[in-house]
Amino acid sequence: MTKLFEIISRVLNAPITQINDESGPETMDGWDSFNLYVLLDEIETTYNVKFNLDETLEIKNVGDFKKILQKYGVVDF
Amino acid sequence: MSQEQKLSYYINKAKSLDITKYEKKIRIALLGSFTLNGIEETLRVKCSEIQIGCNSYVAGYNQYHQEVLNKESNLYRFSSDIVFLVLDARSILGKLFHLPYSVSESDRRQFVKDKVSDISNLIRFFTSYSTAKLVLTNLAVPTYSPYGICETKVSYGLQEMVNDYNQQILESIKNTESIYLYNFDSFVTRIGEKNVFDFKQFFLGDIQISFDCIPYLVSDFVGYVKAVLGLSKKCIVLDLDNTLWGGIVGEDGFEGIKLGSDPVGKAFVEFQKILLALHKRGIILAINSKNNFDDAIHVIRKHSDMILKEEHFACMKINWNDKTQNMKEIANELNIGLDSMVFFDDDPVNREYIRTSFPQILTVEIPKDVSQYAPLLMSLNDFDTLKITKEDLGRGNMYLQEKQRKDLQQQATNLDDFLEQLEIKLKIKKANDFTIPRISQLTLKTNQFNLTTKRYQDEDIKKFLDGGHWVGCAQVEDKFGDSGITGVFIVKKNTTEWFIDTFLLSCRIMGRGIEDGILAQILKKAKESGVKTVVGEFIPTKKNTPSENFLSDYGFKKIGQYWIFDTSNPIKIPKYLDCSVEE
């Protein structure tokens, strides 16, 4: 479960201990629309998947990233 | 092309930059027709990586017209050194980007003409309110056409429109010195349209340069920063074995080295051809190699596939001495700073040794694969200068003349005898349209014999002239050839006293009394004009010690931080100099 959190922590410049599935724009300062796209890009590269445009727009928190990754068969985050 | 970091690396790094710690500073504004987020952060970080503190300003989304046309805008208030104006084909072409054939050919031509004149007007406006360098991008030619394979059958089709726009913009700015065209189209060709333009990122946030490509684009932009700050490299120092040819000549022999015929040999030939082209544009080449001199020079002189000949190397250190010792000697003999040198050596141990001994030298990380030597060399933007002058193009030849001078010096019995035999002609010329680019270039890159190290762009020089001050330059010739314009001075004139704002001499001609000759002409002129006092200043830097004692040696007296010369004192001119002043 740590790999995804590590990416989020690095890209959004936030302590990994403060990240959980509910983390989102309200709880994380770095989570603005542009950084979300940067984060998305890095997650796609790391897991070698491409999110659809509509899936991208559904992402409201960290848990949503997991849901979509699971859809693409990623089990090890 | 070296691998770049991810964009998030730059975005995060940008947050914790402390630019106050850098001596060199630059102010950069970014204007664009689409989202520029990420570019600005990357630019600041990449500048800090080369010890430059970058202040930046990003104009609002698609606000470039308003910012340029409003004299009171934040753009002008920010007073940048460089402004990047990044435009894209979609916003310039508007409806015609998708439906180019919805209007007639003549309308398409008119459309392009109007757009070019729109941008040209913006540029004219900008140059009248700012002395910053403006870097304008051209447009990437779209690869898609609704006409498919028939696109090239249409008269003035979509691709031709964009090509024509690019050509017309190029023509319109070619002769404006402060404006540069960044060839964004060729950037897209190099990286690939599929990589640069990511439709998803485009729909999400009008991001037209994908995150992965932003660092590559910014690396190109940093080339302009280096050139504006005068940080360009002047000299490439090369190893020989496995750098200019394959194998080790001392072991494999003349016949055994790889150069020319086989694939590996071809890669070395290609590398040498790129080096030769750089030499022709004014980059000095030198050799620093552990080798038996006779073995190595035999290859350089006699090998039929050797592209670089002895005459192309301004200095050759082929011996068994310590490489750092050789490096210092090369810098001394060529009279250039270590920080204007680039070092190529296939051996990682040598590279590390030079890198730790002289961090100011750019030691290039050479790939193991020789096929990557040439593309690596081509990807360096460290040789970029804002202009290429006549002196640059003739530099190779000048170093050859320099060798002949050294031979003469060795034959001469004493220094005066040598200087006498050189038959030096010193011509003091005025600043004008022909000499200003070179004058500016010398102020930007001269470090050693430079009293004040003030850096001036063409526009700054023109301001001095407009203010009635004397900007002059010195052309030096001797019996071996013309060294071109190698000295510059700027004298601020008052009725009672003249102030030497700038006085510099290219390191190439130091040690021949030229500086005394130039100074004497300034003092003579002051005296003729009834000016009693000429004031000079020495502002010490890490590098200008060669000019430290110049004013006192000539007879200036120190008062406070300034040096004063009373023109009623004798004005010395070296007797072997033949001086003339252009009126």
SS3 of B382-429: the string is CCCCCCCCHHHHCHHHHHHHHHHHHHHHHHCCCHHHHHHHHCCEEEEE
Q: And the tokens for B507?
A: 């390191």
Most distant pair of Cα atoms in chain B: their distance: 83
Whether the CB-CB separation of B480 and B404 falls below 8 Å is answered with yes
User: What is the chain A residue with the closest CA to B207?
Assistant: A34
- Span B416-442, mean pLDDT? 91
Return the pLDDT at B30.
Answer: 97
Task: Please identify among residues 3-62 of chain A the ones whose CB lies closer than 8 Å to any CB of chain B.
Answer: 10-11, 13, 33-35, 37-39, 41-42, 45, 50-51, 53, 56
B502 φ/ψ angles, rounded to the nearest 5 degrees: -145, 135
Q: Tell me, what's the pLDDT at A43?
A: 94
The radius of gyration of chain A from alpha carbons, rounded to an integer in Å, stands at 11
Residues B176-201 have pLDDT tens digits of 889 999 999 999 999 999 999 999 99
pTM here?
0.81
A29 DSSP assignment: T
Residues 55-74 of A with CB under 8 A from B: 56
pLDDT of residue B67: 94
Token pair, residue B463, equals 């301001």
> What span, in angstroms and rounded, lies between the C-alpha atoms of B188 and B243?
31
Q: Which residues from chain A sit within 8 angstroms of residue B4, using beta carbons?
A: none
B132: Cα within 13 Å, side-chain hemisphere:
27
pLDDT confidence of residue B412: 81
**Which pLDDT score is estimated for B404?**
82
When scoring B11, B194, B198 by the number of chain A Cβ atoms within 10 A, the one with the most, hence best to mutate, is: B11
| B380-to-B24, B266, B313, B340, B369 alpha-carbon distances in Å | 21, 21, 20, 14, 17
Torsion angle of C-alpha atoms B240, B243, B245, B247, degrees rounded to 10: 90
- Range scoring the smallest mean pLDDT among B112-126, B381-395, B440-454: B381-395
* Rounded Cα–Cα distance for residues B158 and A72 (Å): 39
Residue B568, pLDDT score: 93
Residue pLDDT, tens place only, A5-63 = 999 999 998 999 999 999 999 999 889 989 999 999 999 999 999 999 999 999 999 99
Enter the tokens of residue B361.
């030298």
Q: Note the residue count of chain A.
A: 77
pLDDT of residue B119 exceeding 60, the answer is yes
**8 Å CB contact between B269 and B307:** yes
The pairing of beta strand B82-86 with beta strand B24-32: parallel
Pair B488, B431: CB distance under 8 Å: no
Residue of B9, B12, B40, B41 to mutate for A, most A C-beta atoms under 10 A: B12
% chain B with pLDDT above 90: 82
In this structure, of B230-234, B392-396, B436-440, the range with the lowest mean pLDDT score is: B392-396
- Does B445 score more than 70 pLDDT? yes
Give mean pLDDT, residues B27-44.
95
Whether residue B8 and residue A38 make contact (CB cut-off 8 A), yes or no, is: yes
Give the whole-angstrom CA distance, residue B333 versus residue A75.
Answer: 64
Contact present, B144 and B159 (Cβ < 8 Å): no
Strands B481-493 and B497-505, sheet pairing: antiparallel
Distance of CA A59 to the CA centre of its chain: 8
- Give residue ranges of B with CB < 8 Å to any A CB: 6-8, 11-12, 15, 35, 37-38, 200-201, 203-205, 207, 210-212
How buried is residue A42: exposed, middle or buried, by Cβ count under 10 Å (0-12/13-18/19+)? Answer: buried
Q: Are B330 and B337 in contact (CB under 8 A)?
A: no
Average pLDDT, chain B: 93
In 3D, which of B403, B8, B64 has the Cα closest to residue B214? B8
Name the token pair of B329.
Answer: 């000697």
- Residue B291 per-residue DSSP state: S
The string of pLDDT tens digits covering residues B289-336 is: 999 999 999 999 999 999 999 999 999 999 999 999 999 999 988 888
C-alpha B1/C-alpha B501 separation (Å) is 43
Could B8 and A33 be called an inter-chain contact, meaning their C-beta atoms sit closer than 8 Å?
A: no
B404: number of Cβ within 10 Å: 12
If pLDDT is split at 50, 70 and 90, which confidence band does B202 have?
very high
pLDDT digits (tens, 9 = 90+) for B385-421: 888 888 888 887 788 788 788 888 888 878 888 888 8
What is d(CA B172, CA B181) in angstroms, rounded to the nearest whole number?
A: 10
Sequence-separated (6 or more) residues with CB below 8 Å from residue B160: B154
Q: What is the pLDDT of residue B158?
A: 94
Contact state of B211 with A38 under an 8 Å Cβ cutoff: yes
Between the alpha carbon of residue B258 and those of residues B237, B244, B302, the distances in Å are 21, 10, 14
Least confident of B47-61, B274-288, B397-411: B397-411
How far apart CA B6 and CA B452 sit, in angstroms, is 41
Looking at residue B390, what is its pLDDT? 82
Residue type, A53: L
Residue B32 and residue B59 in contact, taking contact as beta carbons nearer than 8 Å: yes
Element (H, E) at B64: helix B64-69
Q: Do A37 and B8 touch (CB under 8 A)?
A: no
Residue B201: its chain A contacts at CB < 8 A? 37, 41
Of residues B6, B15, B201, nearest to A42 (C-beta): B6
- pLDDT tens for B95-105 read 999 999 999 99
Residue B1 in this model has a pLDDT that exceeds 50 = no
pLDDT at A1 over 60: no
Model confidence band, residue B2 (pLDDT cutoffs 50, 70, 90): low
